Amino acid sequence: MKSAASVPEAEQSTRPVELARHDEAALLELLETLVQRHGYVPREFSDEVSRLVAVKLERLRRIQAKLDSTIRRDVQQHVARWRNEEGNLIMILHAIQNQHGYVPREVAMELSRELGVKLARIYEVITFYHYFKLQPPGAHNVTVCNGTACYLKGSTDLLNALRTELGVAEGQTTADRQIHLDTVRCIGCCGMAPAVVIDGKTLGHVKVADVSGHLVALKQSNQEARP
Ligand code: FES
């Protein structure tokens, strides 16, 4: 095995300050290069990596502690507001979803502790009601009506086209968290069947050929919104 002293000078010049500027991907790449060149990671580098990881972990712990206390405070407020009301679990879940756009797992766990209700029961309620979401919402929502009138007018084809274009199933959000695809049972506009709701705007008589155009318009609106 080579000693650290045999590391060429140019490589030894990669000092801690320079390392600190690397993001994790660059750091991993550097480590892989060192392993490829020397068959091991020289001691000064592994020490530096350990130090950086320890610093990051400490920061992570502090952020997590802050988050935990914020979550606890918010949940305590919701519980205090609804504690003696009938059906309080649903009311609290509504408040949580309004706040976050979905019900984060860590919030559900805190609610379970605070309310003295089993976590399994909370998830039973969340999954029973279509309204509650377990994943963060996308920046945009595309909802296909699959009520009877829309179904008869081809909503399944629309849904399939959207699934293909977006690469997600209903109830899911694209990997870039830009578009959430969902379905709904009748939005009361049966005369416009098949109907699709995009960011709260109802579009009627939608054709499969229109799907791409609507998605392009959404993507363009994202770009325009960027500074
Ligand atoms: S079934 Fe789609 S709007 Fe009524």
- Output the pTM of the full model: 0.55
How many angstroms does the Cα of residue 166 sit away from the middle of ligand 1?
A: 23
pLDDT at residue 149 in the model: 96
Instruction: Identify the pLDDT of residue 1.
Output: 40
What is the per-residue pLDDT for 15? Answer: 44
Q: Which atom of ligand 1 is nearest to the CA of 145?
A: 2
Q: Per-residue confidence at 84, pLDDT binned at 50, 70, 90?
A: confident
Distance CA 30, CA 213 (A): 44
Ligand 1 centroid–CA 103 distance in Å is 28
pLDDT at 33 over 90: no
**What local confidence, expressed as pLDDT, does residue 192 receive?**
94
With a cut of 70, say whether residue 76 has pLDDT above it.
yes
CA 85 to chain centre: 32
pLDDT at 3 over 50: no
Q: Enumerate the domain spans of the chain.
A: 1-134, 140-225
Predicted confidence band at 59 (pLDDT cuts at 50, 70, 90)? Answer: confident
| d(C-alpha 161, C-alpha 183), whole Å | 13
* pLDDT tens column, 209-226: 999 999 988 888 776 665
- Please give the average per-residue pLDDT across 161-187, as a whole number: 91
Ligand 1 pocket test: pick from 143, 159, 182, 186 the residue with the most ligand atoms within 8 Å of its Cβ.
186
Report CA(94)–ligand 1 centroid distance (Å).
Answer: 25
**What is the SS3 string spanning the chain?**
CCCHHHCCHHHHCCCHHHHHHCCHHHHHHHHHHHHHHHCCCCHHHHHHHHHHHHHHHHHHHHHHHHHHHHHHHHHHHHHHHHCCCCCHHHHHHHHHHHHHCCCCHHHHHHHHHHHCCCHHHHHHHHHHCCCCCCCCCCCEEEEEECCHHHHHCCHHHHHHHHHHHHCCCCCEECCCCCEEEEEECCCCCHHHCCCEEECCEEECCCCHHHHHHHHHHHHHHHHHHCC
33-37, 47-51, 87-91, 150-154, range with greatest mean pLDDT: 150-154
Domain 140-225 fold: Glutaredoxin (3.40.30)
Pocket residue to mutate for ligand 1, from 150, 158, 182, 203, most atoms within 8 A of Cβ: 150
Q: Which amino acid is at 145?
A: C
Tens of pLDDT, residue by residue over 14-25, are: 444 444 454 677
